[in-house]
A and B are shown apart, each in its own frame.
Chain A
Amino acid sequence: GEDVEQSLFLSVREGDSSVINCTYTDSSSTYLYWYKQEPGAGLQLLTYIFSNMDMKQDQRLTVLLNKKDKHLSLRIADTQTGDSAIYFCAESLSGYSTLTFGKGTMLLVSP
């Protein structure tokens, strides 16, 4: 079955890089996503990566995928206080199947 694990909390200083990690169990996972949830709001899609990719970069965000270890990471460069939020990793077996979410990592950025 599908299972997605994340560490629960990360604290960094403003200007540092943040790295949020995620592991998944289903090697059939085809698409992997990162979502951001700000307080009192729904989830917003940040980025996604296909399983045939190793890396994807989008401005300050870098996603790395290690299929062998079933490990996904999200790096946020030059982290700002506005990046403080909960970050969810999610997987799907195909583009048409439902998403399975991790429990979320709370990122706290201090000035």
Chain B
Amino acid sequence: NAGVTQTPKFQVLKTGQSMTLQCAQDMNHNSMYWYRQDPGMGLRLIYYSASEGTTDKGEVPNGYNVSRLNKREFSLRLESAAPSQTSVYFCASSDEGPTYGYTFGSGTRLTVV
């Protein structure tokens, strides 16, 4: 069972470079999310997509864009990376209702130098 797959697992970028973090889920979930995790800050929601074709801003959307390509895939793009975007990025998905919570990917560790 693959669950939620994130690529790449590690990435180093130079300030000003762009990149796209990929996320795919195989559980037929409607909702998908991008969080970032920073020491002492917990998880903060960047963007989410409640269903295919919709996206909404979370708590910290500045500097990011997202695309819900289809029901399976939800990508996160950094157009011009900044050192403040050094973080671990997690993608998650969920079905309607709370019973199963979110299923998380294993994360992408991004360093911007």
Contacts and interface: CB of A to CB of B under 8 A. Distances in A.
A102 B37 CA distance: 11
Contacts, number: 58
A71 interface: no
B98 A98 contact: no
A33 B99 CA distance: 10
Contacts of B98: 30-31, 33, 48, 50, 92, 95
* SS of B interface (majority): loop
Interface string A34-53: 01000011111100101000
Interface of A: 8, 30-31, 33, 35, 40-45, 48, 50, 88, 90, 92, 95-96, 98-104
Interface of B: 4, 33, 35, 40-43, 45, 48, 50, 58, 90, 92, 96-107
